[in-house]
Structure 1
Amino acid sequence: MKTLEIKNSKINTSNISTIAPKDGTIVLDLINSEMYIRNLFIRDIENLTNYAVLSSNNSKLYVESSEGDYRASPQWTKSFSSSMNYGNGMSCNITATEIPDVIFIACGYKHSIAIKEDGTLWGTGSNNHNQLGLDHDISKVSSFTQIGYDTDWKFVACGYEHSIAIKEDGTLWGAGTNESGRLGLGGLITETETFTRIGDDNDWKYVSCGHSHSVTIKEDNSVWGTGSDWYGQLGFEWGGDVRVVFVPLNIVPSIICKCGDNHTFTLSEDKKVYGTGSNTSGQIGLGHNNPVENFTEVTDVGTCNYIECGSQYTMIIKEDGTLWGTGSNGSGQLGIDNTTDEIENFTSVVVSSGSNDNWKSVSCGGHHTISTKEDNSVYGTGSSSYGQLGFGNNSYDTFHEGSENNKDILVSCGDDHSFLLLHDKSVWSTGRNIDGQLGQGNYLDVSYFTEISD
Structure 2
Amino acid sequence: MHFQLPGCLAPIEAAGGSQTRRVFSCTPSGVAGEHALQLYVSASATSSLISTTVNYLTPVAKVGEVNRKLAVLKEDGSLWVWENDWEKSTADNVVTINTRLGSNFTDIEAGTMFGLAISTDGGLWAWGYNTGGVFAEGPQAGSATPVQIGNGYASVAVKGANTIAGERVVGLKRDGSLWAWGARSSPVPESMAMQIVPHQFGSGFSDLATGATGQSMALKPDGSLWSWNENLSPTPFIPKKTGDGYQAVASAYEATYGIKKNGELWAWGRNAPKRDQAASDDTPVLVGQGYAALSPGSTYVMALQADGTLWGFGSNSEGQFGDGTTRGGGPVLSATGVRKVWAGDSCTVIEKRDGTLWATPYCTLGTMTGNLPPYGFHRLPQY
Q: What corresponds to 1:194 in structure 2?
A: 145
TM-score by length of 1: 0.61
Q: Gaps (5+ residues) in structure 1?
A: 1-35, 37-94, 127-141, 281-289, 351-355
Shift of the 262–359 alpha-carbon distance from structure 1 to 2, 3 Å rule, reads: closer
Shift of the 219–298 alpha-carbon distance from structure 1 to 2, 3 Å rule, reads: closer
2:74 corresponds, among 116, 123, 126, to 116
2:269 corresponds, among 321, 324, 327, to 327
**Does 1:314 find its partner at 2:256?**
yes
Q: Work out the percentage of aligned pairs sharing the same amino acid.
A: 21
Instruction: Say which SS state the counterpart of residue 176 (structure 2) adopts.
Output: coil
Q: Gaps (5+ residues) in structure 2?
A: 1-32, 34-52, 85-93, 162-166
Instruction: Say which SS state the counterpart of residue 180 (structure 1) adopts.
Output: helix
Aligned residues: 314
Instruction: Say which SS state the counterpart of residue 266 (structure 2) adopts.
Output: strand
Shift of the 158–272 alpha-carbon distance from structure 1 to 2, 3 Å rule, reads: same
Shift of the 146–249 alpha-carbon distance from structure 1 to 2, 3 Å rule, reads: farther
Shift of the 324–96 alpha-carbon distance from structure 1 to 2, 3 Å rule, reads: closer
Instruction: Say which SS state the counterpart of residue 80 (structure 2) adopts.
Output: strand
Shift of the 154–411 alpha-carbon distance from structure 1 to 2, 3 Å rule, reads: same
Query: Within 1, Cα distance between the matches of 2:231 and 2:179?
Result: 21
Shift, 1:178, TM fit: 1.6
Instruction: Say which SS state the counterpart of residue 344 (structure 1) adopts.
Output: coil
RMSD: 3.3
Query: Within 1, Cα distance between the matches of 2:78 and 2:100?
Result: 8
Instruction: Say which SS state the counterpart of residue 284 (structure 2) adopts.
Output: strand
Query: Within 1, Cα distance between the matches of 2:154 and 2:147?
Result: 17
**Does 1:440 find its partner at 2:366?**
yes
Q: What corresponds to 1:59 in structure 2?
A: none
Shift, 1:389, TM fit: 0.7
Shift, 1:446, TM fit: 4.7
TM-score by length of 2: 0.71
**Does 1:418 find its partner at 2:348?**
yes
AA at the equivalent of 1:442: M
AA at the equivalent of 2:265: L
**Does 1:450 find its partner at 2:378?**
yes
Following superposition of structure 1 onto structure 2, how do residues 53-132 of structure 1 map, counting pairs within 5 Å?
97-108=55-66, 110-124=68-82
AA at the equivalent of 2:247: N
1:294 corresponds, among 237, 240, 243, to 237
**Does 1:361 find its partner at 2:293?**
yes
Query: Within 2, Cα distance between the matches of 1:259 and 1:185?
Result: 24
Shift, 1:170, TM fit: 2.1
Shift, 1:162, TM fit: 1.5
Q: What corresponds to 2:338 in structure 1?
A: 408
* Cα pair 1:166 1:205 within 8 Å, conserved: yes
Query: What do the CA deviations read for 1:373-411 (whole angstroms, capped 9, x no partner)?
Result: 1222211233222111111224143313333xx322221
Query: Within 1, Cα distance between the matches of 2:319 and 2:367?
Result: 17
**Does 1:240 find its partner at 2:192?**
yes
Shift, 1:113, TM fit: 1.3
Q: What corresponds to 1:173 in structure 2?
A: 125
Query: Within 1, Cα distance between the matches of 2:249 and 2:186?
Result: 17
Shift, 1:213, TM fit: 0.7
Query: Within 2, Cα distance between the matches of 1:316 and 1:383?
Result: 18
Query: What do the CA deviations read for 1:294-328 (whole angstroms, capped 9, x no partner)?
Result: 334343x3221111122543221123322122334
Shift, 1:234, TM fit: 7.0
Query: Within 1, Cα distance between the matches of 2:330 and 2:210?
Result: 23
* Cα pair 1:111 1:125 within 8 Å, conserved: yes
* Cα pair 2:224 2:245 within 8 Å, conserved: yes
Query: Within 2, Cα distance between the matches of 1:179 and 1:400?
Result: 34
Following superposition of structure 1 onto structure 2, how do residues 336-347 of structure 1 map, counting pairs within 5 Å?
336=274, 344-347=281-284
1:389 corresponds, among 321, 331, 337, to 321
Query: What do the CA deviations read for 1:122-162 (whole angstroms, capped 9, x no partner)?
Result: 22469xxxxxxxxxxxxxxx876434453322210001222
**Does 1:275 find its partner at 2:212?**
no
